[in-house]
Structure 1
């Protein structure tokens, strides 16, 4: 049998071992947690970062390279990464050093300049291809280049003026030798315009029509082009609007112009044969003259812009109308007519029936022929 003192000593030693085991286990878990937190890496992908090309700009002209690249940033410091990712707080630049690059075409390694040491960067692509030439400046005449739509839509070019007529082009020595002409390319114009006025950047073109590299920004010129729009004549048709007064059977309309000229692009003109002229006949009980503006839109120009219309009401049961005899006219009548009630058979005239019928038929044919000759028709009142 063990003594009590030995038993207490053994129990105390065992408790101490358990305590040490728990202590080291807790510290080990904390260290692992701290290590995993410290090793957290954040990253950002930045697109279209401009490339800064370093060279003697007074002596050389550089062309042919991609002006932007993508940059992948990574860091364990989230705050620092955010600063470099934000365009407003960014410190780094992507640089191509050409200070020791010979004339001709070369492949240049890109590098990041000014980046925080807490952030790493990877550039995509890592290199660019550049062409280095001696810088020259020469004078060239400028010619306007009209958009293809001008000819396609039937415009006739009357006059072209370019100001200034001559510009100075700065480019590389070899590029300058390849310049065939310098143009001022005009953009497409709105329909129904007879003058183009645009200020544009010039372009240098080689013999194959390829655009060559010149100093940016390129010289600007002002181009004015006077055009004659395609035109054609179209007829006018009356479209009565409003509510006619009671008792009016129909109206006749006399127009000061039967046709008008419209000007616009060929595609617009091809789609128009007549123009509807709205005429308000509300409360018109006597011959009335109105000046009506001819409907138009931004696609075409109409001439004249307005016509005079004489509105003549014809009352039911009456053959009298207030039609004008001067100028060109068109008459439009509503088809519903009020006819007198038929006479009883005992009261109908016998001997003259054939003559009356023949006379009525002749009168009707004569009236129809007169209306056709005058370009006239009639519009019913209701």
Structure 2
């Protein structure tokens, strides 16, 4: 072995072999990176392959600021042929581009050849379709009002209806060719009304239609608008009762209490509205009134009602110095006596008593005895003697005092 290693010819042969191997290795690597065929005498020719890349986007070059182009497909299919390595890379990365150069074309219709760029020199490309027909037109911009299209209006609950919608902004700007602009029939934002019971606030996408109901693909600014649709619920207008709490300062009397408005509109389901004939719960505290006053009070929302309108009312309260008037021996009426029963007054045996009324001067001056009733309620009373409270029924803005609060009566069965 040592003799072989010391032989000059053997060493020269080994060195030549190593040099050839190194040269081949370098050329194989550079050939795979550069896409050129290796000249390595020990390597085989690169294998060729063929494949179709689908849905490759088409890029269009033209004056987008002033022109509109139609007829360019969004994507095409490209068949590639060449070395397997380069083909695999192109299919995976898709770093090549299919384009239509329209920069030097005039307004009108043209047949245009699609081209490819940024493709490896080792590959050949076949585009399908390779030729397209394009239309180049002048770009036109025009403003259109936005209409609101209601869907499922028939699914609103009974009594609920949509009011006039509010769109913000109420017009949009459409950019397209003059031919497309002339075809525009309506610009719509859609709102779904299904089961709506209160105001709808939503963002709606703009859709452009022609006269046949076809959607037109145009440039829209803005493409989304804010839409507000008030939903009117069933309503009923009701009178209301003002409850008086507390007492006026001594020496004063109510001349008038005038609300504004005199009726309240309530909203809610129809079956709930049917239960109400008037609105209760509006209160005035007389202890806070010392002179002619205007106050604002809240309107209560009854059970089952969704809202009231207005939510507050104004009440004008006018007061005057208090005066009094006495009605002597005012007859007491009876109500509610059961059938087959009779009664007699024991105290007072006359069945009458004095009544003093208090009120503003202008009210007292006009009040008459017939304007006030005294009565006792005898319903559900058995035979025997009873003390019964005397009730007074008279005009508003009066107070009164009785000679006595109760009377004694005797009830017996008719013979």
Instruction: Give the TM bin, normalised by the shorter chain.
Output: 0.3 to 0.5
Q: TM-score, normalised on structure 1?
A: 0.45
Q: Which has the higher contact order (CA 8 A, sep 6+)?
A: 1
Query: More helix by proportion, 1 or 2?
Result: 1
From the CA coordinates, give the structure whose radius of gyration is larger. 2
Query: More strand by proportion, 1 or 2?
Result: 2
